[in-house]
Structure 1
Amino acid sequence: MVRLRTLCRHLTGTVCCIIFIIFIRTHQDSTSKIVDKQVTTTSKSHFSTRLEKYTIFQELNGPRQKTFKNPCHCMFWQKSDSGCFYTGCLPYFYLIGAPKSATSALWNQLIAHPDIVDIGKETHWWTRSAKTGLEVRNYLFRHSRPLLTLRDNSGINRERQFIIGDGSVSTLWDNSMIINQTYRTTHRFALPFTWADVIYEVQPDAKIIAILRNPVTRLISDYLSFDAYHSAQDFHEGIINATKTFHECLQKMDLRFCANLMYRPRIQIGIYAVHVEEWLRVFPAHQVLILRTEDWISTQPSQRREILKDVFEFLKIEQYPNAQIPAAEINQRMADITTTFQIWTSSIKLLNEFYKPYNKRLSNLLHDSRYLWQD
């Protein structure tokens, strides 16, 4: 208990308090053993007690406003007052990733729907900017202000039909802040929980969307976008070093931890099975929609139309005949990975072998052989 009190003194603010409370619960719950080599994915490790004041709802301490689809609450509310001083809202849905997998193309089609308000795709607030005070309130106001404006400017009370989402593609996989915070406060390398746990605690009815691309082509595109030096040799040497480091990690830690470390190139993102398991562990399956990039960039417009139909149905909004992005435009963006330099065949072979067991694990998890990426 003394160690936990010391930890609490180091963890300041709303989101850090979430981390502290979940850390305590995780150590009280036998479902999350850091040294366990097997990751349990079938049982949901819902925490035994509810978060009380140590959540983002410390800012949203008033009743929920049911006139909005987004989860909006009164802020700075007191029972003796007649109404809300301010309204703060969380996203209605999260497009959590994966990066370089046509998330922007999908996002652009979603915001073309008249009931989805465009306030920008990515803030990376949870994974990189989740702090206290003004930053928390800015994130909440970011979603509430447009909804309030639409309500106030509409003569027919259409606010219930408008929704706002968060398209930060780091939310799927980037738990580095949690690992770093855990080490700073406990001097242990561990991943006691992920952002899936945190978001579920503050928003258990959130809708989660992920679009996944063949992890090999995704990694190549990612390398060209985020690494400074582009050459076939540099890429090959990078994946050799990254995969070696990853396998060395597995000798000491479990897969869940090692798949959440940072590597260059970023091989960890394509270990989708581990990341998707985290979201399905806490969220009900009907609140998680997994799509495949290769289906979205199909040359058949009807296939993309069916995907959009599924997404709108998932979001519980009316179908809308969106203008389709031409397949040639999407495919050109994807084709850029082959024009800068010619990837070595040995690099492709190495990556196929590396990702093969995790693709199989994902395929089994989703009961869908398409996620073997053998097409």
Structure 2
Amino acid sequence: MNDQFKQILLCFILLLSIFYSVFTVVIWNGNEGTQKTTSYQSRYRENTSERTQTYAYYNMTETISERTALLKGVPIYLPRQMTSKSRSTSPSSHTDYKLRFLPNFKNPCWREILGNNVCTVCLPYYFLVGVEKCGTSDLHRRLLKHPLISQNVKKETHWLARLRFTTEGMQSLSAYLELFQDAVQKDITVIQQNGYYNSIFGDASVSTLWDNRYLLSNVFTANMTTPPYTNANVVYSLNPRTKIIVILRNPITRLYSSYLFFYKNTSIVDFHRRVDTSVQIHNKCLKSNSLRYCAYFVHGQIRLHIGLYYIYIEDYLRVFPRQQIKVLRLENFTRNIAGTMEEVFNFLEVGVPSEHIMQKITAQEKTNTNTRRLRIVGKMFPRTWTTLYNFYKPYNDRLVELLGNEYNYN
């Protein structure tokens, strides 16, 4: 009798387990229809079979700090449904598992359990990584006018390069995901057609290209010519299929525009003095250190180092294939706004919007120009221009070798 009772009990437990597993899968997956769209957006829909091969990685412990893991190019997601009391502190108890991005979302998204609810969280679809004073704000504002690109995002979060290292409470990747929850709730999980969610959002932080100081501070040596990792590796670890946008400008005019924008009590005399001093500091650094060390860690009295474009772009090309990086020139953008925006929309695979919307995008006034400041302060001295030309020339030559003659600023 006891044996029969045990068999019945085991069968009951087995059936209960099967029922629970099926119920959990249904709740977790929700309604994830994959029907094809018929609008113009459908032409840019990613292949579902390819998309399900991209993963986000979880680690269910805090015993390894998130900073340390990201230094190694391994992202640790701390699920928000786990309170500090429920997290284990035993190094042997952590579990890694793979979570597929949802196949019916264009943006990289997945489900998380928060209390009794299942919510959707998403990483940026693209990264506008730089460069400052090269028209990034103007490009960003025009991008957001596309009906499939969320406007509910803040520009310049700087989380990857700075915020997570310098601000209390912002260390976890969950804090980063929270920065985009407006976009997720108001656009990414709302705009859909035939069960497919086409809307995307991006991270537009220009420091992500060149500011690796905090990331590399513990590992970079003076004579290291190739860093073991940069922000590019961190972005790749988040989503290896993401798209990178960089916009460049003549490094000389970029530097002067940066000076007029960020510094107080500006004058052409002060600018010349800062340029001279910064060039001397850089050249002195090169006598005993590698170029990358000087570019990443030794900065003078002005943001001279940001114009060393080829160094930062080369570090991204070490990680991402060329087809995932779109490099623009402000000079071309200014001359042909419509053509450039069409290029970018096609690169992001969201399609070119209607003629009416494109007219609004191209008619928008330019953002963050220094025209008034330039009129007040005046043009830089010719000798300042010559100093900067001679300084940047070898680095501009390397940029041409990397990207082609279209990017020749000499």
- Whether these two folds match at TM > 0.5 is yes
Aligned partner letter, 2:158: H
* Residue 101, structure 1, aligned to residue 134, structure 2: yes
Q: Secondary structure of the residue that 2:301 maps to in structure 1?
A: coil
Q: Distance in 2 between matches of 1:237 and 1:296?
A: 32
2:240 to 199, 204, 218: 204
Deviation of 1:155 (Å): 7.7
Q: Distance in 1 between matches of 2:132 and 2:125?
A: 20
Ranges in structure 1 where 5+ consecutive residues have no aligned partner: 1-10, 23-50
Q: Distance in 2 between matches of 1:208 and 1:155?
A: 24
Which residue does 2:202 correspond to in 1? 165
Aligned partner letter, 1:93: Y
* Residue 314, structure 1, aligned to residue 350, structure 2: no
1:224 to 236, 248, 260: 260
Q: Secondary structure of the residue that 1:273 maps to in structure 2?
A: helix
Q: Distance in 1 between matches of 2:128 and 2:310?
A: 17
Alpha carbons 2:126, 2:202 under 8 Å: kept: yes
Aligned partner letter, 1:219: L
- Residue pairs, 1:239-254, within 5 angstroms: 239-254=275-290
Which residue does 1:17 correspond to in 2? 69
Which residue does 1:286 correspond to in 2? 323
User: Normalising to structure 2: TM-score of the pair?
Assistant: 0.70
Q: Distance in 2 between matches of 1:348 and 1:319?
A: 40
User: Normalising to structure 1: TM-score of the pair?
Assistant: 0.76
* Cα offsets for 1:3-45 (capped at 9, x unmatched): xxxxxxxx962133221x35xxxxxxxxxxxxxxxxxxxxxxx
Which residue does 1:71 correspond to in 2? 108
Which residue does 1:372 correspond to in 2? 408
Aligned partner letter, 2:274: G
Q: Distance in 1 between matches of 2:104 and 2:117?
A: 14
Alpha carbons 1:99, 1:222 under 8 Å: kept: yes
- Residue pairs, 1:45-84, within 5 angstroms: 51=74, 55-59=75-79, 62-75=99-112
Q: Distance in 2 between matches of 1:295 and 1:214?
A: 11
Q: Distance in 1 between matches of 2:65 and 2:284?
A: 36
Q: Distance in 1 between matches of 2:228 and 2:390?
A: 29
* Residue 260, structure 1, aligned to residue 296, structure 2: yes
- Taking a change above 3 Å as real, the CA distance of residues 155 and 313 of structure 1, as seen in their structure-2 partners, is closer
Counting aligned pairs with the same residue, the percent is 32
Compare 335-344 and 265-274 and name the one that shifted more.
335-344
- Taking a change above 3 Å as real, the CA distance of residues 370 and 194 of structure 1, as seen in their structure-2 partners, is same
Which residue does 1:33 correspond to in 2? none
Q: Secondary structure of the residue that 1:282 maps to in structure 2?
A: coil
Q: Distance in 2 between matches of 1:331 and 1:163?
A: 23
- Taking a change above 3 Å as real, the CA distance of residues 68 and 141 of structure 1, as seen in their structure-2 partners, is farther
Which residue does 1:124 correspond to in 2? 158
- Taking a change above 3 Å as real, the CA distance of residues 170 and 154 of structure 1, as seen in their structure-2 partners, is closer
Aligned length: 319
Alpha carbons 1:88, 1:137 under 8 Å: kept: no
Deviation of 1:240 (Å): 1.0
Deviation of 1:56 (Å): 3.2
Alpha carbons 1:62, 1:75 under 8 Å: kept: no
Which residue does 1:174 correspond to in 2? 211
Q: Distance in 2 between matches of 1:102 and 1:203?
A: 26
Q: Distance in 1 between matches of 2:283 and 2:171?
A: 41
Deviation of 1:352 (Å): 0.8
* Cα offsets for 1:83-111 (capped at 9, x unmatched): 97443211000111110111111111110
Structure showing greater Rg: 2
2:122 to 84, 89, 92: 89
Deviation of 1:153 (Å): 5.0
Deviation of 1:309 (Å): 1.1
Q: Secondary structure of the residue that 2:180 maps to in structure 1?
A: helix
Deviation of 1:143 (Å): 2.7
1:276 to 303, 313, 319: 313
Deviation of 1:353 (Å): 0.8
Alpha carbons 2:248, 2:330 under 8 Å: kept: yes
Q: Distance in 2 between matches of 1:123 and 1:133?
A: 11
Deviation of 1:162 (Å): 0.3
Q: Secondary structure of the residue that 2:247 maps to in structure 1?
A: strand
Q: Distance in 2 between matches of 1:168 and 1:317?
A: 21
Alpha carbons 2:134, 2:248 under 8 Å: kept: yes
Q: Secondary structure of the residue that 2:234 maps to in structure 1?
A: helix
1:193 to 229, 241, 244: 229
Which residue does 2:60 correspond to in 1? none
Q: Distance in 1 between matches of 2:186 and 2:112?
A: 17
Deviation of 1:290 (Å): 0.2
Q: Distance in 2 between matches of 1:364 and 1:293?
A: 20
Alpha carbons 1:96, 1:170 under 8 Å: kept: yes
Q: Secondary structure of the residue that 1:333 maps to in structure 2?
A: coil
Alpha carbons 2:164, 2:170 under 8 Å: kept: no
- Taking a change above 3 Å as real, the CA distance of residues 305 and 163 of structure 1, as seen in their structure-2 partners, is same
Deviation of 1:237 (Å): 1.2
